[in-house]
Structure 1
Amino acid sequence: MTRRNRRPAVDHPDLMAVLGLGTPPVPELVDARPAREHVQRLHAAGWGSRSIAARTGLGRRTVRALTAGRTAGAPPTRQVLPDTARRILEIDPEEVPPCHRKAS
């Protein structure tokens, strides 16, 4: 129950079972190592985290977490969603980063 309105909290496991909602599915995760190594190659080729995030449609923090961890002193992300890995691995390191393209 929530304190404010004395109604059952929606995310309470027993209530979810009674309502027939069960537990939400847990997304499958994949090893982040290939994506991390690709981000490092992209960095070496002149890509920044913002450029990678803009090109992939991912958040900048998601990209940075692959190499630097979520917070100071935290290890890099060990697992990512398959879609996240796919988006990062789609970038060709030979492609010119968006910030280096000349306006036409």
Structure 2
Amino acid sequence: MEKRNEVLELSFEFALDIIHYCEELENNKKYVLSHQLLKSGTSIEANGKEAQNAESIMDFVHKLKIAAKEAEETEYWLQLCLKSKTYPSSQKLIDQIGSIKKLLNAIIAATKRKLTN
């Protein structure tokens, strides 16, 4: 039985939600932000998946840091959407990305602590 990986599960569900949100943006002709969000929002889990096959612990941390950077970028685009009056609400996605960011940062910090001990 495969061990549960919460960060990958959350980021996969988030990627699916981002795809749906971006489709809604495109239906409203909001192409530029849709494209940016689709790229950054779906790459979080892609980098998390890459980390699962890291060549070393440092490589693992590096790949998760990339995922964390993508999460930060995604949050930025979602905040822009939230504050723009002509965009659909992105609050649910902002809440989701907040949880993913916390989890990624906790994993990165815990892994770094293991390296120094």
Higher helix share: 2
Task: Tell me the TM-score normalised to structure 2 length.
Answer: 0.29
Task: Tell me the TM-score normalised to structure 1 length.
Answer: 0.31
Greater Rg, structure 1 or structure 2? 1
